[in-house]
Each structure stands twice: as structure tokens, then as C-alpha cells.
Amino acid sequence: MKQLQSQDTAILLFSRTSEEEARVKWHHPSLNQNKKVGIASRLIDHSLSIAHHSKLPVFTRFSNVQSGSDFGERLANAIEEIYAQGYQKVIAIGNDCPLISAQLLRDVAAALMQQQAVLGPARDGGLYLIGLQKSAYHRHEFLNLAWESSALQRSWRHYQVSTYWLKSLSDVDTFIDLKQLVAQLPFAHFLRQQLLSILASAKVDVNRNGYLLSNPSLPRTRPQRGPPYRATFPTVKL
């Protein structure tokens, strides 16, 4: 692996504000708006911390300052703003995949020295990470991808660039996803403790080991997404 050239690679944290996230995610009878804003804020702060720990330049574009008529156009405009500042590669992430690590971001930056694109497939058919060289960015094709749908991974098949597919990870869009995240994080992980504190204050049931108890009445639908689609892609070791 060549030495990482961070001066031409930037990370873009592209996200709704915590208030907007709270309005569309983690529906649970015990969670009011304030509790959900708290969850969103912890996830955003965690993603931002991971991005900064990568030692790469970090830009944020929250929904209150994004421009464009739909998700694809807003993301395209944000990426173009970073290219316009002289960066040749952009790694776009959101706030809803806390299992991304600083090392993964560094590995993606290194891989972009060889590959035109590095993509992280989410298990709902979307993407948790998009790394793209400026030379491989084509606005028209980018806008025509199936944004905010379970067909997004499939639509990238038509974007003719050399691509690394990372291992599949889960987004945190529903309360079921939140439960699974708490179970996956190490017992003493700071984010896990923060989330459990919020849930306990809302009297959401947890067992003595800190795992959320199941509730079969909880909605399993994902906000602003199509039906679950699971594509199979090779896992690439960077």
C-alpha cells in the first residue's frame, strides 16, 4: 500500500441535523422528540470524532446548509464544493453507520490512490460510504443514481468506474437497528454507554447486561427507503 497522501483527500460528513433525524427515525412509544434528538446528536458526534481521528481534512454539510432539490443533488453539490477547493478525492459518510472506524477511512483514502471509487454497501441496499476520485465524478450520472432507495447499490453497476466494494454494514434507521447496534458495540464503548443512558432515562427496557429487550410491536419499516434489498458483493481487504 502506498503512503497515504492526505493532502488531496477529504472526508465529507453529509447529514441531516439532529432535529430532522429525530423526526424520521427510531420510533418507539417511550422515546419523545427530545430523547431522539439526543440519540441523533450522539451518533453525529461519534461520526465526526471518527472522521477527525482519521487525520484527514473533514468537511460537514448538514441539511440546514445543503443546497439542491433532492438528496442526490444536495450530495453532488456538497462533493463539488470540496473538489472546487482543490481536493482530488472525497470520502462521503453519514451519521448512521457507527461501525465505521478511523482506520477504515484511512484505508479507503489509500485505496482511492488506485481505484476510482470505493463503496460501502449497507445491508438495506443503500451505501454507508462513497469514496470517489474527482476524475471519476460525472454529475449527470451521479444525479441519476437511485438515491434514497434499496436499488442504490444496483444503480452503481451502471456507473462505469473501477470500484472496491467494502464489507457490508448496517445503517441505524429504526429502533430495531438501534438495538442491534447496542448489542454489537463493545461493552465499555463510550457511544454504547451514552445510548444506554438515554434509553434508560426514557424507561426503555434493558436487561442486566445492558442489552435492549425485544418488542415485537415495534415498526420495522425504514424511513424514506424502499423494500429491503440485499445485494452480494465481494468483500475487499484493503
The tens digit of pLDDT for each residue in 22-59 reads 999 999 999 999 999 999 999 999 999 999 999 999 99
- Could you tell me the three cell numbers for 139? 454529475
Q: What is the pLDDT of residues 149-162, one digit of tens each?
A: 999 999 998 888 99
For position 157, what pLDDT does the model report? 85
| pLDDT tens-place string over residues 101-111 | 999 999 999 99
The yes-or-no verdict on residue 186 having pLDDT over 50 is: yes
pLDDT at 90 over 80: yes
- Sign, Cα dihedral of 63, 65, 70, 75: negative
At 103, the amino acid letter reads Q
d(CA 168, CA 156): 15
Of the candidate ranges 14-18, 59-63, 114-118, 184-188, the one whose mean pLDDT is the lowest = 184-188
Sheet with 163-165: strands ordered across: 58-62, 9-15, 89-93, 127-133, 117-121, 163-165
Residues 6+ apart with CB under 8 A from 55: 6, 102, 106
Residue 11, strand partner residues: 58, 91
Provide the mean pLDDT of the chain: 87
Q: pLDDT by residue (tens digit) across 96-147? A: 999 999 999 999 999 999 999 999 999 999 999 999 999 999 999 999 999 9
Please give the radius of gyration of the chain, using alpha carbons only, rounded to the nearest integer: 18
- When pLDDT is averaged across residues 180-193 and rounded to a whole number, the result is 92
- The second-level CATH assignment, the architecture, of 6-165 is Alpha-Beta Complex (3.90)
Under the banding of pLDDT at 50, 70 and 90, the label for residue 225 is: very low
Helical H segments across the chain, by residue range: 18-24, 33-53, 71-84, 102-111, 139-143, 152-155, 175-184, 190-201
